[in-house]
Amino acid sequence: MSETYVECLVARSSSALMRFLKTLFIMLTVVFVVIGVVFIPGLLVAIATGIVAYFSYMNAEIEYEYLYLDKEIHVDKVMAKSRRKKVGKYELEKMEIFAPLNSHRLDSYRNRQVKTLDYSSGIAAQPEKRYMMIWNGDKEGTVKIIFEPNAEMVKAIQSVSPRKVFTD
């Protein structure tokens, strides 16, 4: 039995709002630490703003790691290059279609009212590098999943399900 292993890392573009919040709460933490030297309640506010600054920092820099191994795609969310969280595992037997986001082959799937999961960079490039996979899970139901795989991963998926994968 031959196993194929492909790994791909995609950085999510950070929104201006998240960058602003990260900077704002870091500055507020510094200000309240200085105030906390004189007034003790300022130190409590500094702790609260420090916690918010930490979480805004973690969510401002997000990367997605795709791992294809033996007919399964595993997706991990890497926050600030320090914490990893598993966000999905998708078996290719349950896949309905895998095609570029702007492909005409997805026209019949676009208007479905199903949950959409975006694990891409969020940037619409020309030519389109993002792919949409319609996946029918047991517990979750039908889900639209947006990926940004490299060419090697697309070939690996296509070798397993050639009638369901399109590259046009």
User: Which pLDDT tens digit goes with each residue over 84-97?
Assistant: 999 999 999 999 99
For residue 63, the cross-strand partners are 11, 78
Q: Average model confidence (pLDDT) for the chain?
A: 89
pLDDT at 3: 78
Cα dist. 114→101, 109, 117, 130, 134 in Å?
A: 16, 10, 10, 19, 10
The predicted pLDDT at position 82 comes to: 87
Task: State how beta strands 62-69 and 95-100 pair.
Answer: unpaired
For residue 57, the model assigns a pLDDT of 87
Contact 8, 150 (CB under 8 A): yes
| Whole-prediction pTM | 0.82
pLDDT at position 139:
76
Whole-number pLDDT of residue 93 = 92
| Contact between residue 111 and residue 3 where contact means Cβ atoms under 8 Å apart | no
Q: Which two tokens stand for residue 119?
A: 């694990």
pLDDT of residue 51: 94
